[in-house]
Structure 1
Amino acid sequence: MTDGTADASLSEDPSATGRQSFNTAGIAPMDRASAITRFFMGIVAWAEELNFRYAKLGNPPVYDTATFPWAAEVERAWPQIRAELERVLLRQSELPTFQDISTDVKTISTDAGWKTFFLAGFGLKSEQNIKACPQTWEAVQKIPGLKTAMFSIFEPGKHLPAHRGPYNGVLRLHLGLIVPDPADKLAIRVKDQICHWQEGKVLIFDDAYEHEAWNHTDKTRVVLFVDFVKPLKFPARFVNWALMNLAVFTPFIREGLDNHKAWEKKFYAEAEAFRNRPQNQT
């Protein structure tokens, strides 16, 4: 669900071994002692090998968006998505940081510079947030295998260090919504490629490669952040489907869901109280 929690040290060059590395230098491992979680992560490591070997579209760090015909439909919805984002940002200071929802993200972010507004995570929907952004939700329904959809908000000066996502069975889409100038101070590196967001344009990449992102401008950057199922051939497609459906039972996902529900309850209760306050109260 994240821009990537990651584990210990980068011990090999994926291009040399013909596969992706599961680790990133300088990032502490997730501390999950549960036997169930350790078993699940062992299966994940095996599945990642399958996903790399049976990828329908190969394993480039960054994809040509023309490979995904539906991407153009998402881009066409940009004005409506941007308008809904603007309404969300009226309460920007009240939005949760990523680590408020997913505590494992503390391995890469501990400040208030990365905020989120979730519509869905691992297929579990936030009905209240979707109600606030119906056209955004309608647009992301065009994405086959949608798993996560949210607004990803980088405050001025935010820099996410090099890391990798927890699992290579999904690909990531960013749709540029608010992209301040200058371009040379705002970018994402995926493996050895530097990419710049553009408003109204989609960027699709594999977050299982080491990546980092930065906003060194003095303004907020926002993208629509989506994870969708990576196109795979059998048997990887079946294994990936099974893991995606089992993931919602892991402590990592359940904790994030509980944290989001608690934030959501408070956020919308405060909005309701504001609407119902006496007219003469300032």
Structure 2
Amino acid sequence: MAEAEHFAAGVDRLRQDEAAPKPAKTMIPKLSLFMRFGKWAQPRVNDAVARSSRVGNPAFFDKALFPWVAELEANWESIRDEAAVVLQDLDKVPPLAAISPDHRRIAPAGRWRSFFLHGYGYELPENLTRCPKTAALLRKVPGLNTALFSVLVPGTHIPAHTGVTKAILVCHLGLQVPKAAERCQIRVGDQYRGWEEGKAFVFDDMYNHEVLNDTDETRIVLLIQFRRPVGPIGWLLGRAFLSGVRHSRFVQDARRGVRQWADGKGV
């Protein structure tokens, strides 16, 4: 109960800040016919994947179900050190809202920054080259979909939302965590978790979730999306759905945004 109260109080504080006048919002693209079909198919695929899941369907998972997580934790300091170098100048790390128009609905302007290593099956070779130890560890993740250093600057609230598909699960490895842990947490469903440096947790982001960093310190995690272990039907449907997502405007716009940011052209 205390965790929920701390979280709610922090959200209320940041919402007061968010209520301040802001510049005109950037246009968020309308959903295409393909994306609308995806919205229709999503709950049907999710139901089939959940029934086919070989690891159950909780909000948070026992990380022992995924043996590769232990190796990440054992090497977390090497990962942290590489992250520290590439994130040294946060002005050079793109805000998620700047490179992915669809994330503008939930990403506070300039506050949620992402250094991508993999994105929906697409590698970013230049970024991987800059983080060789992290890249080697990521090659051992079965069904790797996406990997990035996720940065929340002080005073960030990512509002309640859900992910893309139950075909993927999410792992967070804590790299830099504010000291006031009770004011920097994630809510997944009705459960609350804080991050610990060198420790990971795995969750299903198709549960309604939101994130809070109501501190004066920056939070950094290695965020990994990977394929959920499922039976044959879940594998086929999940693979087909993810293939559609991979080739959708949602992902292709983000790829274009990353390239433009790297070229110094903005979006």
Choose 1 or 2 for highest CA Rg: 1
SS in 1 for 2:217: coil
Aligned equivalent of 1:159, options 157, 160, 174: 157
RMSD: 1.5
Task: Determine if the alignment matches structure 1 residue 206 to structure 2 residue 191.
Answer: no
Mind listing any 5+ residue stretches in structure 2 that lack a counterpart?
1-27
Q: CA deviation at 1:236?
A: 1.2
SS in 2 for 1:79: helix
TM-score by length of 2: 0.85
Residue 257 of structure 1 is matched in structure 2 by 255
Partner Cα distance (2:161, 2:37) in 1 = 23
Residue 275 of structure 1 is matched in structure 2 by none
Aligned equivalent of 1:172, options 170, 173, 197: 170
CA contact 1:32–1:38 (8 Å) conserved in 2: no
The one-letter code of the counterpart of 2:263 is K
Residue 129 of structure 2 is matched in structure 1 by 131
Deviation string 1:100-142 (CA, Å, 9 cap, x unpaired) is: 1211111112321111100010010111111111111111122
Partner Cα distance (2:33, 2:88) in 1 = 43
Residue 224 of structure 1 is matched in structure 2 by 222
The one-letter code of the counterpart of 1:72 is A
Residue 234 of structure 1 is matched in structure 2 by 232
How many equivalent pairs are there? 238
CA contact 2:156–2:214 (8 Å) conserved in 1: yes
Deviates more, 1:170-179 or 1:230-239: 230-239
Q: CA deviation at 1:200?
A: 0.6
SS in 2 for 1:235: helix
Partner Cα distance (1:66, 1:97) in 2 = 33
Residue 11 of structure 1 is matched in structure 2 by none
The one-letter code of the counterpart of 1:186 is C
Overall identity of the aligned pairs, in %? 36
Equivalent residue runs for 1:111-150 within 5 Å: 111-150=109-148
Mind listing any 5+ residue stretches in structure 1 that lack a counterpart?
1-29, 268-282
Equivalent residue runs for 1:42-53 within 5 Å: 42-53=40-51
Residue 68 of structure 2 is matched in structure 1 by 70
Task: Determine if the alignment matches structure 1 residue 105 to structure 2 residue 100.
Answer: no
Deviation string 1:144-166 (CA, Å, 9 cap, x unpaired) is: 10000000000011111111112
SS in 2 for 1:44: helix
The one-letter code of the counterpart of 1:244 is L
The one-letter code of the counterpart of 2:36 is R
Deviation string 1:157-194 (CA, Å, 9 cap, x unpaired) is: 11111111122211000000001201111111111111
Partner Cα distance (1:40, 1:191) in 2 = 23
CA contact 1:65–1:204 (8 Å) conserved in 2: yes
TM-score by length of 1: 0.81
CA contact 1:73–1:142 (8 Å) conserved in 2: no
Task: Determine if the alignment matches structure 1 residue 93 to structure 2 residue 77.
Answer: no
Q: CA deviation at 1:31?
A: 5.4
The one-letter code of the counterpart of 1:164 is T
